[in-house]
Amino acid sequence: MNRRLHGVLQHPDRKLRIPMVCCSYNLFKPAALSTLKGCSEAEVAGFEQLVDSYAADGLALLCSGYTEESDTCESVLKVIPNFTGLLKRKAFFLTAVDVLTSL
């Protein structure tokens, strides 16, 4: 998932970078939660609350038009360059900050 955000950093159209981050986040959260198989409901809920606390306010402000239900994300995700190099950062949210500072 973080490899996708590194690809966003390479996209030449800076105006598309925020939609790309928003749509990528819509994929990140379910993928992150799916790794918790075997954990209790309380542990999963705690993790989800942690993820939401990191992202909720900022992403809600930036991403209101790019929700999970949005048809726009399908086309936006298709144009993210495939990143094959070494990852500068491993954390999704830190890479998202890199995208924002690249604007």
What residue ranges do the domains of the chain occupy? Answer: 2-101
Residue range 2-54, pLDDT digits in tens: 788 889 999 999 999 999 988 988 888 888 888 898 899 999 999 888 877 77
Of the pLDDT bands very low, low, confident and very high (cuts 50, 70, 90), residue 1 is low
Query: In this predicted model, what pLDDT tens digit does every residue of 50-96 receive, in sequence order?
Result: 877 776 677 777 888 887 777 888 889 999 999 998 888 887 778 88
Report how far apart, in Å, the C-alpha atoms of 29 and of each of 12, 16, 23, 67, 103 are: 26, 21, 11, 12, 24
How would you label 49-66 residue by residue, b for 16+ Cβ within 10 Å and e otherwise?
A: eebeeebeeebeebbeeb
3-state secondary structure the chain: CHHHHHHHHHCCCHHHHHHHHHHHHHHHHHHHHHCCCCCCHHHHHHHHHHHHHHHHHHHHHHCCCCCCCCCHHHHHHHCCCCCCCCCCCCCHHHHHHHHHHCC
Q: What are phi and psi of 91, to 5 degrees?
A: -85, 130
